[in-house]
Every structure is written in structure tokens, then in C-alpha cells.
Amino acid sequence: AQSVSQHNHHVILSEAASLELGCNYSYGGTVNLFWYVQYPGQHLQLLLKYFSGDPLVKGIKGFEAEFIKSKFSFNLRKPSVQWSDTAEYFCAVNEAWAGGTSYGKLTFGQGTILTVHP
């Protein structure tokens, strides 16, 4: 079974600070990796995803993540955060080549709440 671990439960930053949120996964096979964001009172939205190829993935709103296979990590980064980035961030995985309906069977991490002070 897969498991996902996010290192920080709550991160507090000032605007313009750099962000890095840690995510490690445990699984014996190959996985697809995702970062989702949940703004207060809103639904989960996909920030970025990694299936294969270039391990540095760029997503929406200036976010990027790097897949390091040897470390089973998929850390999320942003060079300069804004107050509007205040949200909860979830790392998630599913089995690679999870075809059909298994594609949506995600295993989520515990989430990291990011608070950005103006």
C-alpha cells in the first residue's frame, strides 16, 4: 500500500519569502505524483502533476515541484509567496499506469497549512 508523508503541518511565512513544502512517499512500484491546493472554503484544485520525464515540474501560480526518485520525494516550491497563497496543500500519489477508474484512487498526505502574512 502507498503512504504519503508531509513534513510540516503548519508553515507561516511573510510575503516574498521562499517556500518549500516537503513530501515523501512510500511505495514499492512506480507512482504518479500530485500537489493539490485547497483555499479556505473551496474545493481541492490541482497545482501540478508528475507522470514521467523531466523531474522538475512547473504548475500554476508559479509553483514547481521536483521529483527525486532516490529520495522518494516530491517537494513543492515557490520562490516568492503571496498573501493569496494562504491555503492547505496536499501531496498525493497513485499507482503509475493506473488506468481507467483507478487513476482517481489517490493516497493523500496529511496536508500542510500555509499562512502568508502580508
Partner 1 sequence: AAGVIQSPRHLIKEKRETATLKCYPIPRHDTVYWYQQGPGQDPQFLISFYEKMQSDKGSIPDRFSAQQFSDYHSELNMSSLELGDSALYFCASSERQAGGSPLHFGNGTRLTVT
- List residues near partner 1 by CB under 8 A: 4, 32, 34, 36, 41-46, 49, 51, 90, 96-111
Cα gap 92→73, rounded to integer Å: 11
**Is residue 13 helix, strand or coil?**
strand
Among residues 83 and 103, whose Cβ is nearest to partner 1?
A: 103
Cα gap 74→86, rounded to integer Å: 20
Among residues 9 and 117, whose Cβ is nearest to partner 1?
A: 9
Among residues 11 and 109, whose Cβ is nearest to partner 1?
A: 109
71 phi and psi angles, rounded to 5 deg: -105, 0
